């Protein structure tokens, strides 16, 4: 079974307040122009996307500096629904894991408070993930922490990448599976929209 964990990109996809306007429009059609094309204008941290250290750390690594193996591996989804400040046991987490948190916040993606009522990780659980030496952390919300983004920087300093705006994690709650995170191949990217899928045997 393959589960798509990626937010759809369209004109309703939430865009971080204050970021450049997203434009998705039909540039040509088969009926009028013999070919159909869309014009897409969006930044590197739109929809489901992955953050690289260079997003917040001067001279930090870009996505281009990681091998493809960084973006695939065993994943576990931890169910933390109902928590505004996320803290849970990490006994099921192994070194080298991809760890996603199911908050169900992405159910509110089209609501005005999507970016203002998001749950966040506690410093304790963030440090626990660092101690476990995971390689990627993600959640179905726009960010694992708010300004001044201390947890972002903690993860980046330990070479842990961050995936934001996941969806459909409910089907995988408590399960271990293979995960594939495929960022757009943007040279020297500080982040990139990506297709994320979970594969269960």
Q: What is the pLDDT of residues 48-81, one digit of tens each?
A: 999 999 999 999 999 999 999 999 999 999 999 9
* Position 189 in a domain: yes
* Position 24 in a domain: no
* Position 40 in a domain: no
* Position 113 in a domain: yes
pLDDT at 92: 96
Domain that holds residue 119: 2-7+45-199
* Position 25 in a domain: no
* Position 33 in a domain: no
pLDDT for 116-129, tens place per residue? 999 999 999 999 99
pLDDT tens for the chain, 201 residues: list them: 999 999 999 999 999 999 999 999 999 999 999 999 999 999 999 999 999 999 999 999 999 999 999 999 999 999 999 999 999 999 999 999 999 999 999 999 999 999 999 999 999 999 999 999 999 999 999 999 999 999 999 999 999 999 999 999 999 999 999 999 999 999 999 999 999 999 998
* Position 31 in a domain: no
Q: In angstroms, rounded to a whole number, what is the distance separating the alpha carbons of residues 40 and 58?
A: 29
> Which residue carries 């931890």 as its tokens?
78
CATH code assigned at 127: 3.50.30.50
Entry pTM = 0.96
User: How is residue 75 written in tokens?
Assistant: 């994943």
Number of domains in the chain: 1
Which residues, in sequence order, are CB contacts of 142 under 8 Å at separation 6+?
Answer: 14, 16, 105, 114, 115, 118, 164, 165
Which residues, in sequence order, are CB contacts of 20 under 8 Å at separation 6+?
Answer: 41, 43
* Position 132 in a domain: yes
């Amino acid at each position: 079974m393959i589960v798509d964990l990626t937010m759809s990109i369209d004109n309703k996809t939430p865009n971080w307040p204050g970021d450049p306007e997203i434009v998705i429009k039909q540039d040509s059609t088969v009926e009028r122009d013999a070919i159909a094309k869309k014009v897409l204008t969006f930044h590197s941290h739109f929809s489901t996307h992955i953050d690289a250290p260079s997003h917040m750390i001067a001279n930090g690594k870009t996505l281009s500096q990681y091998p493809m193996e960084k973006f695939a591996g065993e994943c576990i989804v931890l169910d933390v629904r109902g928590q505004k400040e996320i803290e849970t046991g990490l006994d099921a987490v192994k070194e080298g894991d991809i760890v996603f948190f199911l908050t169900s916040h992405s159910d509110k993606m089209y609501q005005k408070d999507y970016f203002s009522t998001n749950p966040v990780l506690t410093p304790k659980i963030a440090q626990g993930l660092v101690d476990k030496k995971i390689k990627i952390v993600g959640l179905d919300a726009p960010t694992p922490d708010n300004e001044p983004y201390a947890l972002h920087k903690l993860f980046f300093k330990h070479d842990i990448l961050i995936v934001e705006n996941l969806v459909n994690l409910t089907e995988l709650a408590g399960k271990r599976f293979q995960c594939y995170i495929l960022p757009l191949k943007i040279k020297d990217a500080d982040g990139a929209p990506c297709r994320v899928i979970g594969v269960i045997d």
